[in-house]
Amino acid sequence: MKYELGTNEGEDFLVSVTKSHAQSQEKRTLKNYHTHEHYEIININSNSKVTFFICGREYECNSNSVMLSPPGAPHYIVRSFAGVKRILINFRAEYIDIFKEFCGIDIDSIFKNSAVRFSDENMDILTDIAAEMTNEFKKDRKSPRLRLLLALFLDRISCPDSIIEPKGGSSLGRRIYEYIQANYFEAITIEMLCDVFMTNRNKICKSIKEESGMTFSELLHATRIKRACELLKNEKMSIGRISEKTGYSSLRYFSDVFKKHTGLSPSGYRKNVTRADDK
């Protein structure tokens, strides 16, 4: 999925500082993996953990973290929706060309790190600059002062207090495995994984086999059926609903795959575990 700034004059920059009302505490995907051809800067001031996925890597962030996505990098965010204030800045490189030489801003160097963290004091300064940009943007989207404020913001984030390292193992196979474990309910394909991890089909398949000993299809089904077993045992939802929640759009196909892995139909499995619990 691609999201782009507009192509008309004056649509090469966007900034917003927004608040959202408290909603469910359940984690959910803010946006599925997507790419765009501009730079994106994100800060989410949430009362709970924010997880940033970019190019198949996972970063644990908090309210003092700034997430950085360069053009073409697949990314998405998972967070709680409660108590949120968000800073979002999108721009094309040419938008601040005039300031690069004078201010010594190296955009590629800044966006080399996917997630950085700041002290409370420095984060307050960044928030104030973003708020000032937002107010200026609302008054005049073509204001020259916006470029100056953006240059000031970029200069500040070029010197973070710390760099956030990605979670988990660094091997491609481990990152693909963890992605499937977290997104098994989505319509995952090898082609999607190629886009997310920015590599080719052969590399994806080889890495999965080396990490798990299974093919892509075997790993995906094993992950889904494991989760289906947990839901059949612990939840009262219908088998059709469990099929949907584990990534199967066809109940008949779900039942066939489930029986292949467990030797039982979904209803038979539920009866067995219920009977065992009653003993």
Cβ neighbors of 145 (< 8 A, separation 6 or more) are: 136
At residue 93, the pLDDT reads 81
Measured CA angle at 260 (ends 254, 262), to 5 deg: 95
- What residues are paired with 2 via a beta bridge? 35
pLDDT for position 80: 56
**CA 90/CA 133 separation, integer angstroms:** 12
Predicted pLDDT at 82: 54
Give 222: exposed, middle or buried? Use CB within 10 Å, 0-12, 13-18, 19+. middle
Q: What is the CATH number of domain 13-163?
A: 2.60.120.810
- In the chain, where the domains are located: 13-163, 172-278
Q: Looking at residue 221, what is its pLDDT?
A: 95
Residue with tokens 């073509």: 142
pLDDT value of residue 277: 59
Cβ–Cβ under 8 Å, residues 69 and 31: no
pLDDT for residue 35: 79
**CATH superfamily, region 172-278:** Homeodomain-like (1.10.10.60)
Distance set, CA 12 to CA 8, 51, 94, 136, 231 (Å): 8, 27, 8, 15, 47
First to last CA, the chain: 50
pLDDT for position 158: 94
Distance (Å, whole) CA 148 – CA 184: 44
pTM as predicted: 0.64
Intervals of the chain under pLDDT 70: 1-11, 19-32, 80-84, 99-102, 168-170, 275-279
